[in-house]
């Protein structure tokens, strides 16, 4: 997962948390100004907290450090055989859907802005009751947008016009349109997150509470004002972006106007936002501490394709999570030297992570026998990068594979007397081959830049997972490599469309290209092919 996506997820999580916090503690009070600041602050801190750095402070806390470093992100090298990359994977499809949603909503916003501009060009600027407004000669719900007030005075009497202007001027003078645009942009950018739409609704609704409160404070009768709102409730606003004199839900506005003012002592509850914001900052920086300790191995996905001997291999760099022990120093049992599980400055491959990935992708080979037995899994190798930067004492600390004890799950295709015991033995042997290949590649690595602790070069343990994966597994049989054995374990004679071929050529045949397979055994094989057919003959006919 790359840094941009992690940031994206952190912002959405924070928005959801702030909204839930708002609904739990603040939605029922009458501190509308404070609520406005909370809502705007929650948007700001959601975007800002992933960028705030307190990692130096966290690193100085031994308890925090010991907890955090139990989980470290390491690169996993996935080696697959015969893999073909496709544009239509989950990541690309999800990105396309997200982009389409943003595009549609952004166009919608532009249309709404254009409608406001159109009203501005159609109307005439006049001074009504000492206030400059845009007068429209059409049936329209009064609304404001930034410093513009749109109104048709012919639809309202003098008292109603005064109420409307008092309401809309509150929106104008307090800059409420900025809040509205914030909510709109938030819902466009994170349209898939229900919390953003709910937060946008709360922002708009709270602005109306503020404007209604200002009207009542200005001396207007609250009952008459509420009846006026009810008279306009049948109208549909032409402009969604504007701060409208009448906006749903009207019932909630009337309830708030008649609600008893909340005691000022309860303002103290807004201080709860401080620990919430701090918790977000600390949780965000915890991962940063881990990444810094491990030298923040890149999360950018790369794909490298290599032609190697008999099989087309693809090496793909992804990520996995492997547990680390606490960052303490201990003595190596073989040499007696001090070796660190984690150092202030971790060892670095010459040229950085990209060169490390390049080296492994160019040197690792998926064992043919493991492919034949359909063995896949993750081999975790631990090794020491010593003071001189040399790799030593590589060992397998974990091997998680798909080896089976069920013959039907082993994907063995063929003839003869292959037993379950033989198949399992071959599976175990294949796992050993994967382990040997992982160790071979690690031991072949050139010199590293050694790690440092307190300014001195030290020996440090390093853990590297290598994942071996076959794309042509039992769920993808049209791409799998055929695996055929003879009764005595020897390889049979392969005949392709009447011509003798080698075993490697046979393994290169894709199953979906085969029309039929005929197997000859014993006398029927030697009668046609002589001694060459003593181990059996496999006749393959391909589709024309």
Same domain assignment for residues 105 and 239: yes
Q: Is 7 within the bounds of a domain? A: no
Sign of CA pseudo-dihedral 118, 122, 127, 128:
negative
Same domain assignment for residues 501 and 443: no
Region 70-86 average pLDDT: 51
Q: Is 53 within the bounds of a domain? A: no
Region 280-289 average pLDDT: 76
Same domain assignment for residues 102 and 221: yes
Q: How far apart are CA 450 and CA 340, in angstroms?
A: 12
Q: How far apart are CA 225 and CA 212, in angstroms?
A: 9
pLDDT in tens, 386-405: 999 999 999 998 888 776 54
Decide if pLDDT at 406 tops 80.
Answer: no
Look at residues 457, 475, 493 and tell me which one is the last residue of a structural domain. Answer: 475
Q: Which residue has the higher pLDDT, 418 or 260?
A: 260
pLDDT grade for 309, boundaries at 50, 70 and 90: very low
Residue 332 sits in a domain whose CATH number is 3.30.2420.10
**Residue 312: strand pairing partners:** 307
Decide if pLDDT at 247 tops 90.
Answer: no
Contacts of 376 (CB under 8 A, 6+ apart): 370, 401, 402, 467, 468, 469, 470, 473
Most trustworthy range by pLDDT among 35-49, 116-130, 140-154, 520-534: 35-49
Same domain assignment for residues 306 and 364: yes
Same domain assignment for residues 351 and 396: yes
pLDDT for the residue 401: 79
Q: How many domains does the chain have?
A: 3
Answer yes or no: are the C-beta atoms of 149 and 172 closer than 8 Å: yes
Same domain assignment for residues 112 and 141: yes
Q: Is 2 within the bounds of a domain? A: no
The pLDDT > 70 percentage for the chain reads 73
Same domain assignment for residues 458 and 513: no
Decide if pLDDT at 481 tops 50.
Answer: no
Max Cα–Cα distance, the chain, nearest Å: 113
Would strands 131-135 and 124-128 be described as parallel, antiparallel, or unpaired? Answer: antiparallel
Decide if pLDDT at 479 tops 60.
Answer: no
pLDDT in tens, 316-355: 434 333 333 344 456 666 666 788 887 878 898 888 877 8
Q: How far is CA 175 from CA 126, 165, 179, 218, 473, in A?
A: 21, 15, 8, 19, 61
Looking at 327-486, which runs of residues are DSSP E strands?
329-331, 338-340, 348-349, 377-385, 391-401, 448-449, 451-453, 456-470
Same domain assignment for residues 258 and 358: no
Q: Which residue has the higher pLDDT, 218 or 467?
A: 218
The pLDDT > 90 percentage for the chain reads 28
pLDDT grade for 289, boundaries at 50, 70 and 90: low
Contacts of 349 (CB under 8 A, 6+ apart): 355, 356, 359, 445, 448, 449
Eight-class DSSP state of 488: T
- The three-class DSSP label of residue 464 is strand
Decide if pLDDT at 256 tops 80.
Answer: yes
Decide if pLDDT at 227 tops 70.
Answer: yes
What is the secondary structure of 71-88 as a DSSP string? EEEEEEEEEEES----S-
**Lowest-pLDDT range of 12-16, 58-62, 373-377:** 58-62
Same domain assignment for residues 471 and 488: no
Q: Which residue has the higher pLDDT, 500 or 504?
A: 500
Decide if pLDDT at 525 tops 50.
Answer: yes
Token code pair at residue 339? 């070796």
pLDDT grade for 178, boundaries at 50, 70 and 90: very high
Decide if pLDDT at 484 tops 60.
Answer: no
Decide if pLDDT at 485 tops 70.
Answer: no
- The three-class DSSP label of residue 398 is strand
**Lowest-pLDDT range of 75-89, 231-245, 302-316:** 302-316
Same domain assignment for residues 489 and 455: no
| C-alpha closest to that of 533 among 481, 486, 497 | 486
| C-alpha closest to that of 384 among 429, 330, 312, 428 | 330
Answer yes or no: are the C-beta atoms of 416 and 396 closer than 8 Å: no
Answer yes or no: are the C-beta atoms of 14 and 257 closer than 8 Å: no
Q: Is 224 within the bounds of a domain? A: yes
Token code pair at residue 6? 């992690």
Q: Is 386 within the bounds of a domain? A: yes
Decide if pLDDT at 65 tops 70.
Answer: no
Q: Is 368 within the bounds of a domain? A: yes
Region 203-232 average pLDDT: 87
Domain residues for the domain of 196 are 85-262
Would strands 448-449 and 329-331 be described as parallel, antiparallel, or unpaired? Answer: unpaired
Q: Is 112 within the bounds of a domain? A: yes
Region 490-513 average pLDDT: 81
Same domain assignment for residues 374 and 422: yes
pLDDT for the residue 285: 76
Q: Which residue has the higher pLDDT, 510 or 100?
A: 100
Region 285-307 average pLDDT: 46
The per-residue pLDDT of the chain, averaged, comes to: 78
- The three-class DSSP label of residue 272 is helix
Most trustworthy range by pLDDT among 115-124, 235-244, 369-378: 115-124
**Lowest-pLDDT range of 78-82, 252-256, 417-421, 435-439:** 417-421
**Residue the block writes with tokens 């690193």:** 59
Look at residues 427, 448, 475 and tell me which one is the last residue of a structural domain. Answer: 475
Q: How far apart are CA 283 and CA 264, in angstroms?
A: 32
Decide if pLDDT at 84 tops 50.
Answer: no
Same domain assignment for residues 304 and 440: yes
pLDDT in tens, 180-189: 999 999 999 9
Token code pair at residue 503? 């075993």
Q: Is 29 within the bounds of a domain? A: no
Q: How far apart are CA 10 and CA 412, in angstroms?
A: 47
Look at residues 432, 456, 475 and tell me which one is the last residue of a structural domain. Answer: 475
Give this prediction's pTM. 0.53
């Amino acid at each position: 997962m790359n840094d941009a996506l992690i940031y994206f997820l952190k912002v959405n999580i924070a928005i959801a948390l702030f909204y839930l916090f708002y609904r739990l503690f603040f939605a029922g009070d009458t501190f509308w100004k404070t609520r406005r600041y909370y809502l705007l602050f929650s948007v700001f801190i959601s975007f800002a907290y992933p960028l705030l750095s307190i990692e130096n402070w966290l690193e100085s806390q031994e308890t925090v450090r010991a907890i955090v470093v139990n989980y470290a992100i390491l690169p996993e090298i996935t080696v697959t055989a015969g893999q073909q990359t496709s544009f239509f994977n989950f990541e690309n499809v999800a990105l396309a859907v997200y982009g389409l949603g943003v595009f549609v909503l952004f166009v919608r916003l532009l249309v709404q802005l254009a409608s406001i501009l159109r009203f501005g060009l159609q109307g005439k600027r006049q001074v009504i009751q000492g206030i400059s407004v845009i007068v429209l000669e059409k049936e329209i719900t009064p609304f404001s947008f930034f410093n513009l007030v749109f109104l048709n005075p012919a639809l309202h009497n003098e008292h109603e016009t005064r109420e409307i202007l008092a309401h809309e001027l509150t929106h104008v003078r307090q800059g409420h349109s900025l809040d509205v645009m914030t909510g709109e942009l938030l819902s466009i950018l994170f349209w898939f997150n229900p919390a953003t739409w709910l937060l946008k609704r709360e922002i708009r609704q709270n602005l109306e509470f503020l404007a209604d409160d200002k009207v009542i404070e200005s001396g207007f009768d609250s009952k008459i004002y509420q009846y006026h709102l009810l008279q306009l409730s049948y109208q549909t606003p032409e402009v969604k972006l504007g701060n409208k004199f009448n906006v749903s839900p009207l019932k909630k506005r009337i309830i708030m106007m008649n609600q008893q003012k909340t005691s000022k002592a309860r303002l103290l509850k807004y201080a709860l936002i401080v620990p919430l914001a701090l918790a977000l900052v600390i949780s965000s920086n915890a991962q940063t501490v881990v990444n810094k300790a491990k030298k923040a191995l890149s999360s950018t996905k790369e794909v490298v394709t290599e032609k190697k001997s008999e099989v087309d291999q693809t090496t793909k760099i992804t990520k996995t999570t492997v547990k680390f022990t606490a960052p303490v120093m201990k003595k190596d049992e073989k040499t007696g030297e001090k070796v660190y599980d984690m150092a202030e400055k971790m060892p670095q491959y010459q040229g950085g992570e990209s060169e490390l990935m390049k080296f492994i992708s160019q040197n690792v080979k998926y064992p043919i026998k493991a492919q034949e037995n359909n063995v896949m899994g993750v081999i975790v190798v631990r090794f020491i990068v010593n003071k001189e930067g040399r790799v030593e004492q590589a060992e397998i600390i974990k091997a998680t594979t798909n080896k089976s004890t069920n013959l039907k799950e082993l994907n063995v295709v063929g003839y003869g007397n292959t037993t379950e015991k033989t198949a399992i033995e071959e599976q175990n042997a294949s796992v050993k081959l994967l382990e040997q290949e992982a160790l071979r590649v690690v031991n072949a690595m050139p010199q590293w830049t050694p790690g440092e602790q307190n300014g001195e070069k030290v020996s440090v343990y390093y853990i590297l997972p290598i994942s071996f994966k076959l794309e042509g597994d039992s769920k993808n049989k049209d791409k799998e490599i055929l695996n055929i054995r003879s009764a005595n374990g020897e390889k049979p004679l392969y005949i392709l469309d009447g011509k003798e071929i080698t075993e490697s050529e046979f393994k290169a045949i894709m199953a979906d290209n085969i029309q039929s397979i005929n197997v000859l055994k014993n006398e029927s094989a030697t009668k046609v092919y002589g001694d060459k057919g003593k181990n059996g003959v496999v006749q393959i006919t391909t589709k024309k």
